[in-house]
Chains A and B, each alone.
Chain A
Amino acid sequence: ATLCFQAFLQMCNLPIRVVCRANAEYMSPSGKLPFIHVGNQVVSELGPIVQFVKAKGHSLSDGLDEVQKAEMKAYMELVNNMLLTAELYLQWCDDVTVEEITHPRYGSPYPWPLNRILSYQKQWEVRRKMKAIGWAGKTLEQVLEDVDQCCQALSQRLGTQPYFFNKQPTELDALVFGHLFTILTTQLTTDELSEKVKNYSNLTAFCRRIEQQYFEGHDKESSATVAARSAKRSLLR
């Protein structure tokens, strides 16, 4: 998720610095990550950040007409609905992944027993939410199928264009890039999730293109932060 809005800010040509903190969730005004700290203002979550940036005069979607804006919002919801929930499911509801990766990673900054307690608490929270929206009854195969469907929709929408709304990147591109890049680069117990994305060559080309265009300018720093971030990814979520 951090990557989404980093991409967004890069696309707006705004300079940023990424900092990792263990208590990030508590610093954020809404308890959710990511958040930005500008002067004496703190703004969290992608939606409000986009509004904030727009109010300061930078926007990526000004060139779109009303119908396109509606479409963009719809696709952003699709990504949030499917990809984000699938990522959460995989991290917190799939027992193998939880034991081997998520628990150790989430609890790493804290001493025992706090690390176990906090990660169980988070897990319980996420599972409750999954149950409320009806994902608790899904098996891993069904979740992967949903991700596949979502990727297929994104791939079809992207087609052969460089960005979703042709020549200029928009918030949607940043969001999709953030999620897909995370899926492609995070190490999990199985590669099934990243395989699903790799099936769609235009999506992988899209990720590579954005990475090259917006992240390799800040070369060493960004690749180091990407590596550090992938280790602390669940923390920063």
Chain B
Amino acid sequence: PQSLLQAYAKFSGAPLTVNTINKSWRAPKGEVPVLISEDIVISQPAKILNFLRKQKYNADYELSAKQGADTLAYIALLEEKLLPALLHTFWVEAENYCSVTKPWFASRIPFPLSLYLPGKMSREALNRILLTRGGPPLYSLTEVEAQIYRDAKECLNLLSKRLGTSQFFFGDTPTTLDAFVFGFLAPIYKVCFPRVQLQEHLKQLPNMCRFCDDILTCYFRLTVSGHSPAGQDTADANLQKLTQLVNKESNLIEKMDDNLRKSPQHPPRKLTTLKLAAGGEQSSPLNRLSP
């Protein structure tokens, strides 16, 4: 969810600062990611997206009604077919969980939450998988796992066919759907797990890899190999510095651009360089995102 929201924010030009998880014990319901804007606190990805849209950061401005409908459908596909396998890879697969997810997660939240929270998330993930996919005729966990990975691979294949050779799912500008797909794929693609069947499958789909790499290089200013958990910290720090710079400049420009902001909706901004993001004159609410 965190990479999804960051990607969406980038696509739509919303200025946000990323704070690392050390405040999650203060997050209202212990849920992350959390968006804090002035006094409003919002905690679920879907609600955060709605909020950003209402604040006029809309990445789907140029989509037709039918494309908007397609977006909803594909997001449902992702949640239904890809999410269980993703949850499993991160939280349920024993080797992955013990060697990568748990230490990484626990290192970013304060003691004693670090003892409790990863275990809770792991149990919730397993619960969700079993309740939604685990009925008969699949009677054992291994059968359920086999089925969810089959579904996930099919889903990746479908996405690959839909993407084809275009740069983004709806032409040349990224939209909500691209943010969602990126949000789901980036962790699979970049995090180094001991058990990597999804990653291997993904690597066999060159257009999906190209899609992830494109977004990472254009919008996240990272080299292709640099998005490991350790790299996340430097990425966050850089993001923060750059966003602060952007916000200072935009405060000055804001006064001149008052009229522009009164127009109904803003078309998406293409952030070809981050300096250009200073053209983000719509930054009067200072959004802070805690992943």
Residues of A with Cβ closer than 8 Å to B? 29-32, 66-67, 69-71, 73-75, 77-78, 80-82, 128-129, 132-134, 149-150, 152-154, 156-157, 159
Would A30 and B136 be within 8 Å (CB), given that A67-B162, A80-B80 are in contact?
Answer: yes
Residues of A within 8 A of B137 (CB): 29-30
Residues of A within 8 A of B69 (CB): 152-154, 156-157
Contact between A32 and B135, CB atoms less than 8 A apart: yes
In the complex, whether B77 has a CB less than 8 A from a CB of chain A is yes
Residues of A within 8 A of B44 (CB): 134
User: Which size bracket describes the interface of B in this complex?
Assistant: 20 to 34
Contact between A29 and B136, CB atoms less than 8 A apart: yes
User: Closest CB-CB distance, B237 to chain A, in whole Å?
Assistant: 32
Give the CA-CA distance A81 to B79 in the complex, in Å.
9
Residues of B within 8 A of A152 (CB): 69
User: Closest CB-CB distance, A51 to chain B, in whole Å?
Assistant: 13
Give the CA-CA distance A123 to B70 in the complex, in Å.
33
User: Closest CB-CB distance, B86 to chain A, in whole Å?
Assistant: 14
Contact between A77 and B76, CB atoms less than 8 A apart: yes
- Taking A69-B158, A153-B73, A154-B69 as given, write out 7 further A-B residue pairs in contact, using a Cβ cutoff of 8 Å, ordered by the A residue number: A69-B161, A77-B77, A132-B124, A156-B66, A157-B69, A157-B70, A157-B73
In the complex, whether B128 has a CB less than 8 A from a CB of chain A is yes
Residues of B within 8 A of A134 (CB): 44
In the complex, whether B132 has a CB less than 8 A from a CB of chain A is yes
Give the CA-CA distance A157 to B79 in the complex, in Å.
20
Contact between A77 and B73, CB atoms less than 8 A apart: yes
Contact between B73 and A75, CB atoms less than 8 A apart: yes
Would A71 and B136 be within 8 Å (CB), given that A77-B77, A81-B76 are in contact?
Answer: no
Determine which of A29, A128, A153 lies in contact with B68 in the assembled complex, contact meaning CB atoms within 8 Å: A153
Residues of B with Cβ closer than 8 Å to A? 44, 65-66, 68-70, 72-74, 76-77, 79-81, 124, 127-128, 131-132, 135-137, 158-159, 161-162, 164
Contact between B135 and A73, CB atoms less than 8 A apart: no
Give the CA-CA distance A211 to B133 in the complex, in Å.
32
Determine which of A32, A71, A80, A132 lies in contact with B70 in the assembled complex, contact meaning CB atoms within 8 Å: A71
Residues of A within 8 A of B161 (CB): 66-67, 69-70
Residues of A within 8 A of B79 (CB): 77, 81
User: Closest CB-CB distance, A105 to chain B, in whole Å?
Assistant: 22
Please provide the 6 A-B residue pairs with the shortest distance between their CB atoms, ordered closest to farther: A153-B69, A78-B76, A74-B73, A70-B158, A74-B77, A156-B65
Give the CA-CA distance A29 to B135 in the complex, in Å.
11
Can you pick out 6 interface pairs between chain A and chain B where the beta carbons lie within 8 Å of each other?
A81-B80, A132-B124, A149-B72, A156-B65, A157-B70, A157-B73
Residues of A within 8 A of B76 (CB): 74, 77-78, 80-82
User: Closest CB-CB distance, B101 to chain A, in whole Å?
Assistant: 19
Contact between B73 and A132, CB atoms less than 8 A apart: no
Contact between A31 and B135, CB atoms less than 8 A apart: yes
User: Closest CB-CB distance, A32 to chain B, in whole Å?
Assistant: 7
Determine which of A31, A81, A132, A159 lies in contact with B136 in the assembled complex, contact meaning CB atoms within 8 Å: A31
Contact between B131 and A153, CB atoms less than 8 A apart: no
Residue among B69, B81, B136, B158 with the highest chain A CB neighbour number at 10 A: B69
Give the CA-CA distance A127 to B161 in the complex, in Å.
36
Would A78 and B72 be within 8 Å (CB), given that A31-B136, A66-B161, A159-B66 are in contact?
Answer: yes
Determine which of B68, B81, B162 lies in contact with A71 in the assembled complex, contact meaning CB atoms within 8 Å: B162
Residues of A within 8 A of B128 (CB): 132-133
Would A77 and B68 be within 8 Å (CB), given that A70-B158, A128-B131 are in contact?
Answer: no
Give the CA-CA distance A30 to B170 in the complex, in Å.
38
User: Closest CB-CB distance, B269 to chain A, in whole Å?
Assistant: 26
Contact between B164 and A157, CB atoms less than 8 A apart: no
Would A71 and B135 be within 8 Å (CB), given that A153-B68, A157-B66 are in contact?
Answer: no
Residues of B within 8 A of A29 (CB): 136-137
Residues of B within 8 A of A78 (CB): 72-73, 76-77
Q: Name the residue of chain A whose CB is nearest to the CB of B127.
A: A132
Q: Name the residue of chain B whose CB is nearest to the CB of A154.
A: B69
Residues of B within 8 A of A75 (CB): 73
Residues of B within 8 A of A153 (CB): 68-69, 72-73
Give the CA-CA distance A129 to B164 in the complex, in Å.
36
Q: Name the residue of chain B whose CB is nearest to the CB of A152.
A: B69
Contact between B131 and A77, CB atoms less than 8 A apart: no
Residues of B within 8 A of A69 (CB): 158, 161
User: Closest CB-CB distance, B57 to chain A, in whole Å?
Assistant: 20
Determine which of A67, A77, A129, A154 lies in contact with B132 in the assembled complex, contact meaning CB atoms within 8 Å: A129
Residues of A within 8 A of B135 (CB): 30-32
Give the CA-CA distance A73 to B159 in the complex, in Å.
11
User: Closest CB-CB distance, B281 to chain A, in whole Å?
Assistant: 31
